[in-house]
Structure 1
Amino acid sequence: MSVGFDYDNTGARPAGAVMRALSALLPGVGAVREQTEPYAAAWRRSNDKALAADGPLWVAIGDSMTQGIGASAPDRGWVGQLADHLADAGRPHRVVNLSVTGARVQDALDQQLPALRDLVAMGQVPDLVTVVIGSNDVVSPRLRAGLTDRFTQLLDGLPDGAVVANLPNPHREARRVSALLREREREGRLVVADMRAHGPRSWRGKLAADKFHPNDAGYAGMARVFDLALGLEEVR
């Protein structure tokens, strides 16, 4: 990777007891979980190549969905599919993917935002920053507390014009995050990728073997939400 930038897409937090038990009991869960290390390694190699190349830079912040866990290959997640759409529209970008499987908003604050700042300090200033994170927080009663405050800190660290996905989860805290994002959008500080309004209406046939992460078709639906946010497609 470029001199002065050494980033690992592998999370430091081990899988919890529930996930280990599910992996042992349900083959689909174990099979998808086994993608974690190879997908992280693939993105590290891809990041190396991106930083050695020229052209507009896209930095992706997120969790397992930005890694593409559940897809048939790392570049068949929503990031890879959106990269293809941008290229087809004459807007190709180099992609540096900072996502980490299992990441929570606090992990983005502690690991991914500092990496973004390091890139900027190196002269690798992104033309596009995207964020998909928070699902691992909102599904945990313990982590929901303070989620909106942590999300506010995250947004404060992003450059103006970042494209940030809201959380389709119906929980009250997810709705609060969506309201925060809409307020920032009205202020002209970010663009909302509206998963609540434009994400897949049904996930039937769009989930990986673990019945949690999207498969290629599910990620296509997520990529479309970013197509809409970036003006690559009009709302119908």
Structure 2
Amino acid sequence: MKPVAVAGGVAAAVGVGYLLWLARHRSAWTVLLTNRIPGHHVYWRERGRADPDSVLYVALGDSAALGLGASRPDRGYVGIVAKEIGRITGKRVRVRNLAIDGATCAVVLADEVHRIPKATALVCTIDVGANDIWSFEPGRFREEFDRVCAALPPGAIVADLPSFSPVPVTRRVEAANRIVHEVVAARGLVLAPLNAATRRGGPVIAIRNAAGDLFHPNDRGHVRWAEAFLPAVRARLAQQAAPAAT
């Protein structure tokens, strides 16, 4: 057998072996992260308890808003945003995290928006749409996403869909984000440029910032997600503080 053929066979075997290892690795991480979900809900339930001396932050969305993939719930992007709100206001932050793992726009409509507190939130954020991309249908997505945005409080900060660098769904994400941008603008809400933030650095950085399931962000990834929200959060806080300063 020629050396080239042998080398090709070895390379193919190594490639197949790597793909099998990767599939098992992702499967193990999926189980691990799924098992963490109840603990994340418990954490956010405690953070949402009434506190008369606190400011209110309301978060809606999917498992990313729960902080899944981070080493602890408070190291998810919602926890990072809450910490920044506390730093700027000098007050304790009550977080009503209404997110549900696996949420699509339909789930947010059915199980989240009606739970938005009547009390005025200092900040409201939402990420949704990533789970809609697997069965993406533009007309349905626009209708459901518009209904979600219509139910949000004024000044809510709405993320577009993140980059899925390791996953070949770019065209669907681009189509969904065109809809997101149009609806957010039409509803007078604030866009958090999550796609641009998570696309920065390309596929290598995307993998580095992903948890072991290669879907949820890890601690570094959640910092990147928070960076997409924080400029709008800071602007919102400055706007809220302005009347008190005059």
TM superposition score normalised by structure 2: 0.73
Q: Does 1:203 align with 2:206?
A: yes
Q: Does 1:149 align with 2:143?
A: yes
How far apart, CA to CA, are the structure 2 residues paired with 1:126 and 1:115?
13
State the Cα distance separating 1:161 from its structure 2 match: 0.8
Structure 1 counterpart of 2:127: 132
Change (3 A) 1:172 1:210: closer
Structure 1 counterpart of 2:27: 26
Change (3 A) 1:223 1:200: farther
Is the 1:58–1:96 Cα contact (8 Å) retained in structure 2? yes
Larger radius of gyration: 2
Where does the alignment leave 5 or more consecutive residues of structure 1 unmatched?
A: 1-21
Structure 2 counterpart of 1:158: 152
Q: Which amino acid aligns with 2:125?
A: T
Is the 1:31–1:209 Cα contact (8 Å) retained in structure 2? no
Change (3 A) 1:186 1:154: closer
How far apart, CA to CA, are the structure 2 residues paired with 1:217 and 1:24?
20
TM superposition score normalised by structure 1: 0.76
Q: Which amino acid aligns with 2:160?
A: N
State the Cα distance separating 1:197 from its structure 2 match: 2.0
Is the 1:59–1:98 Cα contact (8 Å) retained in structure 2? yes
Tell me the secondary structure at the aligned position of residue 208 of structure 1: coil
Q: Which amino acid aligns with 1:70?
A: G
Structure 2 counterpart of 1:45: 46
Is the 1:59–1:97 Cα contact (8 Å) retained in structure 2? yes
Root mean square deviation, CA, Å: 2.5
Q: Which amino acid aligns with 2:61?
A: G
Structure 2 counterpart of 1:35: 36
**Bigger shift: 25-34 or 132-141?**
25-34
How far apart, CA to CA, are the structure 2 residues paired with 1:174 and 1:194?
13
How far apart, CA to CA, are the structure 2 residues paired with 1:25 and 1:182?
32
Deviations 1:27-86 (A, max 9, x none): 2221111111111122112212xx234332111001100001111111110011111222
Change (3 A) 1:23 1:145: farther
Structure 2 counterpart of 1:76: 75
Q: Which amino acid aligns with 1:132?
A: D
Is the 1:67–1:99 Cα contact (8 Å) retained in structure 2? yes
Tell me the secondary structure at the aligned position of residue 162 of structure 2: coil
Change (3 A) 1:36 1:144: farther
Same amino acid, percent of matched pairs:
29
Tell me the secondary structure at the aligned position of residue 138 of structure 1: helix
**Bigger shift: 107-116 or 174-183?**
174-183
Is the 2:47–2:94 Cα contact (8 Å) retained in structure 1? no
Tell me the secondary structure at the aligned position of residue 60 of structure 1: strand
Q: Which amino acid aligns with 2:157?
A: V
State the Cα distance separating 1:198 from its structure 2 match: 2.5
Deviations 1:116-160 (A, max 9, x none): 1xx21xxx221211110111111235x666111100111111122
Q: Does 1:107 align with 2:110?
A: no
Change (3 A) 1:25 1:195: closer
Structure 2 counterpart of 1:67: 66
How far apart, CA to CA, are the structure 1 residues paired with 2:146 and 2:187?
15
State the Cα distance separating 1:88 from its structure 2 match: 2.5
Is the 2:123–2:233 Cα contact (8 Å) retained in structure 1? no
Q: Does 1:217 align with 2:238?
A: no
How far apart, CA to CA, are the structure 1 residues paired with 2:26 and 2:162?
28
State the Cα distance separating 1:190 from its structure 2 match: 0.6
Structure 2 counterpart of 1:168: 162
How far apart, CA to CA, are the structure 1 residues paired with 2:121 and 2:221?
27
Change (3 A) 1:174 1:150: farther
Deviations 1:77-120 (A, max 9, x none): 0011111222223365321100011111111101111101xx21
